[in-house]
Every structure is written in C-alpha cells, then in structure tokens.
C-alpha cells in the first residue's frame, strides 16, 4: 500500500460516462482525494459516497477534486452516481490495475480495501486513511484535508 510522501503512479481509467480520465487531469486544478471502495450499491460504500457528496461543496471551495475508484463497470458507476446524486467522478478499474498499483487490493485479490488518499499536484501522497468499517474515519480525514488546504502557509 502506498504511504504518505510516496509518489502516486500515473493512470488512466474510464469514468461513469466511459471517458478516459488520467490522474494528471484530476490534479490539473489542485490536489485530489482518491478514494478506493469495494463496490457500488453496498451499504458501507453508499454511506461513504454520500458522506463525500455532503462534503463536496467544501471540497470544491478548497480546490480539491474527488474521484472514487472501484472495480465495477462505467455503467454501474453511472447508475450509482445518479441514484445518490454524487457530484464527483467515479472511475472503473475493472481489471484492478490501479487498485494493485496503489496496493489496496484485498487478500488473494478478492476485494478492495477501503482507503482514501490526498494527492498533491506533484502526485505526492500527502495523507492516507485505511478503515474498512469506519466511514467516519474517512470523512474526518477528508475534512482535515480541506482544513489543511484552507490554512495559509
């Protein structure tokens, strides 16, 4: 699993509309929250996505882009995004290539670990949280990312 201060690998994945999106494109206007999750429409993943949705206005104001990554298809992501009014990009990693690059694949490759990263514009990981069942830990991490971003240097 990638850690703080590691360089995030470049990647390109299709979004919920089938458009290819690269990490570079996600970072063009500022840092990004990349959150890896096991599956669309599951209770924990739905709670997590909706908690990020509810923080999205603050994230946008802070100049932070959000993208969720899981192994479902673009069509599944589109339905999930529409059903829960998610205003951010969902990326389809059906072959789990990016999931493996970030080291968030589960034991024996059967599932995806719930991990959230803050990546700066130089592709350096500035923070990370891993918590499979505590959605609140991910939400707190994202709130901290926004607060850190809003703090003058």
Under 8 Å between Cβ of 48 and 35: yes
pTM above 0.85, yes or no: yes
Q: Which residues of 128-137 are buried (b: 16+ CB within 10 A; e: fewer)?
A: bbbbeeebee
- Of 147 and 109, which is predicted with more confidence? 109
- Which residues form the catalytic set? 45
CA distances from 10 to 21, 78, 88, 138, 139 (A): 11, 24, 19, 23, 25
Token pair of 110 as six digits: 């059967």
Q: Give tens-digit pLDDT for 42-94.
A: 998 999 999 999 999 999 999 999 999 999 999 999 999 999 999 999 999 99
Is the domain spanning 12-145 CATH 3.40.30.10? The answer is yes
pLDDT-derived band at 140 (thresholds 50, 70, 90) equals confident
Boundaries of every domain in the chain = 12-145
| Among 149, 152, 87, 79, CA closest to 121 | 149
């Amino acid at each position: 699993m990638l850690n703080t201060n590691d360089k995030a690998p470049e990647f390109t994945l299709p979004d919920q509309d089938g458009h290819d999106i690269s990490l570079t494109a996600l970072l063009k206007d500022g840092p990004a929250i990349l959150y890896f999750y096991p599956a669309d429409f599951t209770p924990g993943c739905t709670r997590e996505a909706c908690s990020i949705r509810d923080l999205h206005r603050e994230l946008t104001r802070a100049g932070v882009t959000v993208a969720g990554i899981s192994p479902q298809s673009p069509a599944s992501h589109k339905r999930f995004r529409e059903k829960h009014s998610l205003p951010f990009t969902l990326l389809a990693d059906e072959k789990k290539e990016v999931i493996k690059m970030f080291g968030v694949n589960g034991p024996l490759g059967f599932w995806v670990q719930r991990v959230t990263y803050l990546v700066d514009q130089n592709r350096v990981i500035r923070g990370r949280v891993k918590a499979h069942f505590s959605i609140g830990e991910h939400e707190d991490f994202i709130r901290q990312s926004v607060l850190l971003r809003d703090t003058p240097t």
